[in-house]
Amino acid sequence: MKITKITLENFLCYSGKDNIIKFTDGINLVLGANGYGKSKLYDAFNWLFFDRITNQKGEPIGTVTLSSNLISKKTIEETTDGEIECKVILELETEKEGFQIERKYSIRKEDEKLFPSEKSDVKVFIKNELEYLPHELPVDSGFLDFVRDNIIPIDILPHIWFQGERGITKAVDTSSGKTLHQVINKISYIEMWQRYVDIADNANNRIKTIFDKEARKSSRKKKTREALYTKIEDLQTDLNKNSKELASRRKDLGSVNQKIDNISLNAEAQEKISNLKLEEEKLTNNFHKVKEELDALIDSADRNLFDSFWVINKTQHSANSYDKLYSDYIYEKQREINEAKENLPKIPRGNPTATHLNKMIIDRHCHVCDRPAPKGSDAYNHIEKLLPENYPSPKPDSREYIHDSEFKKMSQIQIGLLLNIDAFEQESEDLTTNYYKKEDKRVELKEKLENIKDKKSLVLTDAGLENLDSGVQIGKKYKNLSEQSSNLNNTIGRLENSILADNKEKEELEEKYQKSFAGEIDEKLTKQMKFFKSMLTATKHAKESQFLMLVKLLEEKTNQHYENINKESGAFYGEIKFHKNHTEGYTARIHDADDVDVTNNMNTSQILSMQLSILFAILSTNKEKGLNKKYPLIADAPNSSFDPEKRKFLLREMGRTFDQTIIMMFEYLEKDPDRQNRYKVNTKALKALKTEMKGSGIGVNIIHLDIPNNINPKKLQELSITQNHLKL
């Protein structure tokens, strides 16, 4: 099955009819920031097949509950009255045929009131050479039967379509033995081996019936044989009774061990919770630190408006007018001084009056020899000496240029401010870029924190910690259960020994009984009996060893995927081992080089990469089924805990394992400096990814989900999403 195209019409945030995303082989990266329609795209796949979507807690919500919420708020807002329809159309190809599946739902709007339909409708079309023709679904089977028979086995969907880290954990719960046991049954031919065991058992019983029938015809040594037969029958009765009791005791033991497991799990859970709390504390500190830095940056931007004078940006025209006025003022002043100088009467050389001397001191100029006489110079001192001692000290006449010093100061300030004005825009841009980098970090930390909260709640739910009694009671409960377990083990051991001994005795008696018919019953029949008995034993062994082999195979494949994702990251990752547990299942754990179980010390991304590796192995282990090559992987944000390098290796492993992968993610996007509150793709990183994937023979198709510039993303009644297929 290959998905080629999805069309979303007025579905959730996808307003309008032109929301088309085309998919190719290889990796399809659907990039969208939070609130840009990534998860809604995943919901579209879910809704199309199952008539439901999942809420933030991972709980399913059906069409009836969702009702008008399924339809774009913008479309509802813009429609005056009448029918409003939302639709998801999926085009796909299987090995045999091409299909188009369409699910739609409508509401009626009248006088601002909404009247929802009772259900959605689904239609199937089959592709002929030119077009899709309607296909009537059989009356006696539903849409899902059609999907199961023609498109994809429904039971594998949780393993290849999942949403977020919670979805992965739901698909492969590595803390429960049950999941792995179910998985092994799913990928193996264990059912077939059980059938062989049943066939051998039937054949054995049939031949035994024939022998007994023949035996009854003989009249020789009747009494001895009857006594032997009765003894065999008595032994069989005992065996049946003991086997029944053994099965019952084993069941009891399983249940007691499960309870012990739960209590151990509680202890383990508490350790996990404590580790998660530590991680949470660290993240919370970082979160607050980043938040403080963000607040400081906002404050800094606000302050820079005034303290760094950003507010005067593009006001130079007014300031320049002042500059011109001030230049004219200075020129005028100079002109007036020069004019006054020219009008000054000539001073007779060597005979200046006190008035002349006073004027020369004010002007700092010797008008006799027409040269400057700055204060402190010889010329100035000489002029000062010539002034009569009782003459009032000279004061400059500032009345004429009363504004001079103020205008000069303003001009200097104006020049000073305008000097830096060209740098304001860059300064602001730098600050904004820095802010959005930190904002991304804050969002990332917030998501991680929410993730940890989810994990904590999962651990608590799994361990039933909400109902936990005090530690003392747990201890008592544990002791009590341990005693029960020990007693049951003793009983089981006794029963097993008894069954073993009875079986041995029964076999000996049966051999004696059969031998007593030597010469009377056909030897061929006796040989057949021996053959079928050994066949029964052999098939039972084969079934057990086949199961073990599959566990080993799955473990091996899981480790291959795990290594491919983690090896090049340089961090410790260890080896995955499947532990047989008290019940009949297996639990996946991570071991270090000294074979120590270090699972509880591993971080989120390592646990996730283990779970993903098991998922990949489930689908790729059985080569005959080759599920990974037949069906596409669809994942919404499976990698938020992965660092960029590891994310790349994960994508590569997805590309290698699956023929088609559709993955929605936030990564590879960055704040767009040219558009307020919008994101652009990180072209450099994507080009590098494409080149690297090409080297591994994996094609990458990139779709960027965006929101038009003029729309406020916070207003649902305005929201629409565009889909840009990028050619890098």
Partner 1 sequence: MNTIITALFKKEPQFPSEFEYLFEKYCRKGGGSEEERLNKAMVFRNYYELYMYAFFLGIRKKKSIKWKNRNKDKSTTNAWNVENWKPKQLRDYLVCCVLGEANIPLREYDLMSEKEIANKSSQLMTIIEEYTYGGLSILDKTFQSDKNYFDETFAFTDYVFE
Q: Is the dihedral of CA 158, 164, 169, 172 positive or negative?
A: positive
CA distance 601 to 278: 12
> Any contact of residue 310 with partner 1 (CB under 8 A)?
yes
Confirm or reject binding of residue 677 to partner 1 (CB under 8 A).
yes
Stretch of residues binding partner 1 (CB under 8 A), selected from 140-148, 168-176, 318-326, 679-687: 318-326
Nearer to partner 1, 326 or 478 (CB): 326
Under the binding rule (CB under 8 A), the answer on residue 428 touching partner 1 is yes
Q: What span, in angstroms and rounded, lies between the C-alpha atoms of 239 and 505?
A: 11
Q: By C-beta, is 378 or 406 nearer to partner 1?
A: 406
DSSP notation for 124-180:
EEEE-SSSEEEEPPPTTS-HHHHHHHHT--GGGHHHHEEEHHHHHHHH--TT-HHHH
Q: Contact with partner 1 (CB under 8 A): which of 340, 413, 549, 728?
A: 413
The span from the CA of 509 to the CA of 519, in Å, is 18
Instruction: Pick from 248, 712, 717, 724 the residue near partner 1 by CB under 8 A.
Output: 712
Residue 14: Cβ-neighbour burial (10 angstroms; 0-12, 13-18, 19+)? buried
Which among 712, 709, 690, 691 is positioned nearest to 701, based on CA atoms?
690
Q: Which is nearer to partner 1, 268 or 323 (CB)?
A: 323
The answer to whether residue 679 forms part of the interface with partner 1 (CB under 8 A) is no
In the complex, what is the shortest distance from the CB of residue 676 to partner 1, in angstroms, rounded to a whole number?
Answer: 6
Supply the minimum distance, in Å, between the C-beta of residue 16 and partner 1.
22
Backbone angles phi, psi at 302, to 5 degrees: -65, -40
Residues 116, 68: contact at Cβ < 8 Å? yes
Residues 6 or more apart whose CB falls under 8 angstroms from that of 524 comprise none
Q: Which of 125, 326, 478, 547 binds partner 1 (CB under 8 A)?
A: 326
**Quick one: 626 or 708, whose CB is closer to partner 1?**
708
Stretch that binds partner 1, among 168-176, 310-318, 355-363, 662-670 (CB under 8 A): 310-318
Our finding on whether 323 is near partner 1 (CB under 8 A) is yes
- Binding segment toward partner 1, per CB under 8 A, in 88-96, 303-311, 496-504, 686-694: 303-311
329 binds partner 1 (CB under 8 A): yes
The number of residues that bind partner 1 (CB under 8 A) is 53
- What is the dihedral sign for C-alpha 718, 31, 727, 44? negative
Comparing CA positions, the residue from 551, 547, 557, 553 lying closest to residue 617 is 557
Candidate residues 198, 400, 422, 508; the one interacting with partner 1 per rule CB under 8 A: 400
B/e letters for 176-187, b = 16+ CB within 10 Å, e = fewer, are: bbebbbebbebb
- Residue 714 as a binder of partner 1 (CB under 8 A): the answer is yes
Query: From the list 145, 233, 271, 328, which residue makes contact with partner 1 (rule: CB under 8 A)?
Result: 328
From the CB of 303, what's the least distance to partner 1, in Å? 9
CB of 407 to partner 1, least distance (A): 6
Q: Which is nearer to partner 1, 233 or 425 (CB)?
A: 425
Q: Measured from the CB atom, is 156 or 305 closer to partner 1?
A: 305
Find the part of the chain contacting partner 1 (CB under 8 A) among 46-54, 113-121, 408-416, 650-658: 408-416
Binder to partner 1 among 161, 211, 435, 562 (CB under 8 A)?
435
Shorter beta-carbon distance to partner 1: residue 297 or 588: 297
Residue 409 found at the interface with partner 1 (CB under 8 A): yes
**Sole binder of partner 1 in the list 299, 339, 450, 520 (CB under 8 A):** 299
Residue 71 has what DSSP assignment? B
For residue 367 the two structure tokens come to 């008008």
Nearer to partner 1, 260 or 443 (CB): 443
Q: Which of 680, 681, 676, 679 is nearest to 712 (CA)?
A: 676
Cβ distance 108 to 47 under 8 Å? no
237 vs 228: CA distance, rounded Å? 14
Candidates 134, 416, 464, 475; binder of partner 1 (CB under 8 A) is: 416
Stated as kind and residue range, the H or E segment containing 264 is helix 222-307
Residues 6+ apart with CB under 8 A from 252: 488
- Figure out which of the listed residues 110, 155, 233, 295 binds partner 1, where binding follows CB under 8 A: 295
Q: Which of 132, 162, 193, 424 binds partner 1 (CB under 8 A)?
A: 424
- Whichever of 255 and 434 has its CB closer to partner 1, that residue is 434
Binding status of residue 432 toward partner 1 by CB under 8 A? yes
User: Which of 631, 700, 596 has the alpha carbon at shortest distance from 27?
Assistant: 700
Pick 210 or 301: Cβ nearer partner 1: 301
Residue number, 405 or 461, with CB nearest to partner 1 = 405
Residue 361 phi, psi (nearest 5): -70, -40
Torsion angle defined by CA atoms of residues 705, 711, 716 and 719, in that order, rounded to the nearest 10 degrees: -40
Comparison of 407 and 478: residue with beta carbon closer to partner 1: 407
Does 407 sit near partner 1 (CB under 8 A)? yes
- Out of 199, 227, 247, 325, the only residue in the binding site for partner 1 (CB under 8 A) is 325
298 binds partner 1 (CB under 8 A): yes
> Which of 34, 194, 202, 313 lies at the binding interface for partner 1 (CB under 8 A)?
313
Helix (H), strand (E) counts: the chain: 19, 21
Write the interaction track for partner 1 spanning residues 471-490; mark x where CB under 8 A is met and - where it is not: --------------------
Cβ neighbour number for residue 105 with a 10 Å cutoff: 26
DSSP 625: T
Which listed residue (126, 260, 305, 337) binds partner 1 by CB under 8 A?
A: 305
Are 574 and 591 within 8 A, CB to CB? Answer: yes
Part in contact with partner 1 (CB under 8 A); list of ranges 64-72, 111-119, 305-313, 494-502: 305-313
CA distance 27 to 29: 6
Q: Which position has the token pair 């009590």?
A: 480
Matching residue, tokens 């302050």: 303
Q: Which of 132, 58, 70, 145 minimizes the C-alpha distance to 104?
A: 70
Among 15, 179, 204, 411, binds partner 1 (CB under 8 A): 411
Question: What pairs with residue 134 in β-bridges?
Answer: 125
Q: Determine if 434 is a binding residue for partner 1 (CB under 8 A).
A: no
Q: Give 3-state DSSP helix, strand, coil % of the chain, rounded to 5.
A: 60, 15, 25
703 pairs with which residues across the strands? Answer: 30, 725
Is residue 711 a contact point for partner 1 (CB under 8 A)?
Answer: no
* Of 121 and 307, CB closest to partner 1: 307
Nearer to partner 1, 155 or 336 (CB): 336
Burial 399-408 (b: 16+ CB within 10 A, else e): eebeeeeebe
Indicate whether 340 belongs to the interface with partner 1 (CB under 8 A): no
560 touches partner 1 by CB under 8 A: no
| Residue 540 φ/ψ, nearest 5 degrees | -60, -45
- Among the listed residues 284, 263, 207, 301, the one whose alpha carbon sits nearest the alpha carbon of residue 534: 207
Work out how close the CB of 402 gets to partner 1 at its nearest, in angstroms, rounded to a whole number.
Answer: 5
Judged by CB under 8 A, the residue of 417, 474, 509, 685 near partner 1 is: 417
Q: Is 395 in the site for partner 1 (CB under 8 A)?
A: no
* Residues 287/449, Cβ–Cβ less than 8 Å: yes
Among 93, 110, 149, 307, binds partner 1 (CB under 8 A): 307
The footprint of partner 1 (CB under 8 A) covers: 295, 298-299, 301-302, 304-307, 309-315, 317-326, 328-329, 332-333, 400-404, 406-407, 409-411, 413-414, 416-417, 424-425, 428, 432, 435, 676-677, 712, 714
